[in-house]
């Protein structure tokens, strides 16, 4: 029994032969040690399993593992996906230590149809739900943890779903904030050299005055045009985009300025024509135009078509209802729309071409707001109102895969159990234009698993799972050396330490998992058990570590107790006799001197 001993050579004897602190340990895991013994998944020797009720050909009945006629052999598990982890429900038996092709000697696979899924699988958290995981937030587990976990760690920014390995960056040579569609790079991170942006809307990347939203050099006088499509709308030197481009007493139609008082945003043209009697070509005498909007809120609409539309008839039809009005001398008409929904407006005048436009009429645009809810598991409340702030009852709200109806206060409630940025809630209701709101669902917190500062092998320790504010997290899952344990209502786990090291990772639904941590385990010193184990010395445990026969005469040993280590003391008998003779001679001399001195004194008297 010493640190260099081969533990497996002694078989299962209940002893720590190699002095490493573990009884009957072995390696490699899940391997055969002998015809009778195998090394299990925890690195401890066990006798091989019994599986037959009678001895079959090719199997050996082991004397120390055979009861009631049962025989021992090797149990193998099917490995359909070839990832070296077996399926517990697909077994076969063999008399050979090596499993047949397609089988392995462990049953640890949770998905034998996918070689990427096994106990060594690393899952990565995908906070922004863009399909790419965070390399620093991972969990090693056979089954997928709850939440947004995926099998890749390629995200470089897990807080922005627009940034991932498929992101296309566009070079912005003129630095106007708009990129060149033909000069791009697909990369998770923004290229370091040069100006790169996330849009490709520039139509001239050599001119920073040319981009979407720039001012087109236009004018009804045709004197300010520059031959360039300044605003990147596909039209070069258009003479106008809106009435504001044309100046006073001019209006814009078909990118052309016409001299006529009008209001902005016109979308159609009505032409006053002179139909020839012979059916020949129609001659356009005058033109007037006006805006008929695609959408409007409310039931009253004012349109301006210019003076040439004076007296024109305007008809509004919504559903089965119709309302009519007539343009005044300035070509302006105010008409009451007959209902809500999709309809059309037609303007007509004798001798003129009719203009008809489809229109959507709304009572107003809904406003949806999140009024409560922040984290995973919270009750999220949304309120739907009109633009005036009045609640809308029975509005439909689509949120988190659910379709809900608002109550009399315009509110819906739902429990949201996810961690994700940029979720959406949309609202709709009859006669109203819908709206949406974006919101984030945060994690309840970030977990950590606390262990005692000093951990000794053989101890039963308390592991406490808390959040970043040290609040205990009940029922959290903690993976300890690949074995999952569940915390109690106080976030605690009692765990007996049998190994020389610990790895821990805590998880719980709604929380960001803890980082995987490693804990050093000190060897347990049991002085007096007859074993000089790791951590014991001659000084702190003489009972176990001072051994007669190690060629060292230790403190407490002597020739009588350990003649193997301690030398025989020298024979000092003659020396002692000599010393005694010297002492006697000195005493005799002293006696004679004193006697002679006394005799002399008597004679002198």
Is pLDDT at 258 greater than 80 in this prediction? no
Q: Provide the pLDDT for residue 95.
A: 62
Is pLDDT at 495 greater than 80 in this prediction? yes
Of 16 and 226, which is predicted with more confidence? 16
- Phi and psi dihedrals of 458, rounded to 5? 100, -15
* Alpha-carbon torsion angle 418, 421, 424, 425, nearest 10: 60
| CATH architecture of the domain formed by 364-441 | Sandwich (2.60)
Is pLDDT at 99 greater than 60 in this prediction? yes
Q: Provide the pLDDT for residue 534.
A: 67
How large a percentage of the chain has pLDDT more than 70?
81
Q: Provide the pLDDT for residue 282.
A: 44
- Phi and psi dihedrals of 601, rounded to 5? -65, -40
Of 353 and 232, which is predicted with more confidence? 232
Alpha-carbon separation of residue 17 from 7, 21, 457 (angstroms): 6, 9, 17
CB 255 within 8 A of CB 238: yes
CB 384 within 8 A of CB 392: yes
Q: Tell me what the mean pLDDT of segment 95-99 comes to.
A: 71
At 196-217, the pLDDT tens digits run: 999 999 888 778 888 888 876 6
Is pLDDT at 61 greater than 50 in this prediction? no
Q: Provide the pLDDT for residue 268.
A: 42
Alpha-carbon separation of residue 485 from 6, 30, 289, 454, 605 (angstroms): 32, 22, 76, 21, 111
Of 587 and 328, which is predicted with more confidence? 328
Q: Provide the pLDDT for residue 355.
A: 80
Q: Provide the pLDDT for residue 531.
A: 79
Confidence of residue 60 (pLDDT cuts 50, 70, 90): very low
Is pLDDT at 68 greater than 60 in this prediction? no
Is pLDDT at 184 greater than 60 in this prediction? yes
At 12-56, the pLDDT tens digits run: 888 888 888 899 999 888 676 776 677 777 888 876 654 444 444
Of 333 and 261, which is predicted with more confidence? 333
Q: Tell me what the mean pLDDT of segment 343-353 comes to.
A: 82
How large a percentage of the chain has pLDDT more than 90?
31
Is pLDDT at 242 greater than 60 in this prediction? yes
At 369-399, the pLDDT tens digits run: 999 999 999 999 999 999 889 999 999 999 9
- The dihedral region occupied by 185, where left means phi > 0, alpha psi between -120 and 50, and beta the remainder, is beta
Q: Provide the pLDDT for residue 334.
A: 92
At 131-176, the pLDDT tens digits run: 999 998 898 999 998 888 999 999 998 888 889 999 999 988 888 8
Q: Provide the pLDDT for residue 245.
A: 65
Residue labelled with tokens 């003391």: 569
Q: Provide the pLDDT for residue 554.
A: 81
The C-alpha angle 344, 346, 352, rounded to 5 degrees, equals 160
Q: Provide the pLDDT for residue 357.
A: 85
Q: Provide the pLDDT for residue 57.
A: 45
CB 372 within 8 A of CB 380: yes
Is pLDDT at 604 greater than 50 in this prediction? yes
Output the CATH code of domain 262-362.
2.60.40.10
At 285-330, the pLDDT tens digits run: 445 566 677 788 888 888 888 877 888 899 999 988 999 999 998 8
Is pLDDT at 587 greater than 90 in this prediction? no
**Highest mean pLDDT: which of 40-54, 223-237, 500-514?**
500-514
Helices (H) and strands (E) in the chain, counts: 2, 42
Q: Where are the domains of the chain?
A: 262-362, 364-441, 445-520
Mean pLDDT of the chain: 81
Considering all CA atoms of the chain, what is the largest pairwise distance in Å, rounded to the nearest integer?
Answer: 198
Domain 364-441 and domain 445-520, same fold? Reply is: yes
Task: Report the Cα 522 to chain-centroid distance in Å.
Answer: 34
Domain 445-520 is in which class? mainly beta
- Name the DSSP class of 10: G
Pairing of strands 149-150, 168-171: unpaired
Q: Provide the pLDDT for residue 222.
A: 41
Q: Provide the pLDDT for residue 261.
A: 32
């Amino acid at each position: 029994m010493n640190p260099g001993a081969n533990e497996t050579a002694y078989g299962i004897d209940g002893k720590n032969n190699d002095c490493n602190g573990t009884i009957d340990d072995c390696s490699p895991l899940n391997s055969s040690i002998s015809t009778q013994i195998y090394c299990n998944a925890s690195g401890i020797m066990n006798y091989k399993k019994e599986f037959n009720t009678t001895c079959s050909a090719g199997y050996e009945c082991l004397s120390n593992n055979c009861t009631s006629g049962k025989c021992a052999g090797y149990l193998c598990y099917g490995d359909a996906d070839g990832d070296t982890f077996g399926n517990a429900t697909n077994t076969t038996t063999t008399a050979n230590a090596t499993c047949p092709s397609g089988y392995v000697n462990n049953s640890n696979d949770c998905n034998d149809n996918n070689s990427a899924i096994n106990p060594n699988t690393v899952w990565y958290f995908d906070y922004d739900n863009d399909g790419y995981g965070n390399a620093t937030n991972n969990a090693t587990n056979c089954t997928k943890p709850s939440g947004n976990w995926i099998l890749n760690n390629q995200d470089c920014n897990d807080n922005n779903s627009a940034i991932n390995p498929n992101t296309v960056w566009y070079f912005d040579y003129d630095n106007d904030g708009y990129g060149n569609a033909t000069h791009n790079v697909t990369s998770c991170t923004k290229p370091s050299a040069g100006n790169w942006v996330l849009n490709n809307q520039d139509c001239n990347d050599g001119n920073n005055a040319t981009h979407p939203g720039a001012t087109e050099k236009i004018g009804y006088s045709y004197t300010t045009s520059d031959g360039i499509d300044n605003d990147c709308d596909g039209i070069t030197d258009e003479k106008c985009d809106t009435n504001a481009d044309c100046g006073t007493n001019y209006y814009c139609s078909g990118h052309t300025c016409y001299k006529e008082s009008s209001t902005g945003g016109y979308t159609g043209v009505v032409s006053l024509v002179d139909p020839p009697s012979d059916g020949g070509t129609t001659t356009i005498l005058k033109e007037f135009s006006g805006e008929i909007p695609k959408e409007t809120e409310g039931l009253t609409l004012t349109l301006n078509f210019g003076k040439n539309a004076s007296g024109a008839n305007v008809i509004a039809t919504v559903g089965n209802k119709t309302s009519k009005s007539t343009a005044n001398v300035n070509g302006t008409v105010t008409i009451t729309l007959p209902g809500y929904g999709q309809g059309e407006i037609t303007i007509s005048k004798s001798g003129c071409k009719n203009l008809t436009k489809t229109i959507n009429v709304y009572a107003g645009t809904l406003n949806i707001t999140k009024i409560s809810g922040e984290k995973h598991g919270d009750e999220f409340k949304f309120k739907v109102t009109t633009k005036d702030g009045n609640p809308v009852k029975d509005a439909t709200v689509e949120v988190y895969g659910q379709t809900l109806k608002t109550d009399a206060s315009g509110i819906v409630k739902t429990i949201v159990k996810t961690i994700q940025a940029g979720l959406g809630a949309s609202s709709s209701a009859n006669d109203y234009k819908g709206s949406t709101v974006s919101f984030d669902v945060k994690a309840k917190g970030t977990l950590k698993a606390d262990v005692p500062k000093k951990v000794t092998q053989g101890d039963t320790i308390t592991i406490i799972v808390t959040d970043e504010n040290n609040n205990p997290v009940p029922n959290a899952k903690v993976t300890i050396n690949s074995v999952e344990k569940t915390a109690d209502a106080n976030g605690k786990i009692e765990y007996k330490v049998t190994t020389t090291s610990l790895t821990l990772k805590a998880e719980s639904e709604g929380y960001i998992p803890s980082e995987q941590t490693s804990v050093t385990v000190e060897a347990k010193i049991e002085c007096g058990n007859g074993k000089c184990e790791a951590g014991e010395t001659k000084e702190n445990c003489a009972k176990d570590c001072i051994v007669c026969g190690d060629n060292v005469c230790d403190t407490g040993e002597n020739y009588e107790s350990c003649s193997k280590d301690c030398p025989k003391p020298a024979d000092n008998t003659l020396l002692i006799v000599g010393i005694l003779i010297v002492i006697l001679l000195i005493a005799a001399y002293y006696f004679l001197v004193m006697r002679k001195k006394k005799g002399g004194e008597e004679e002198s008297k």
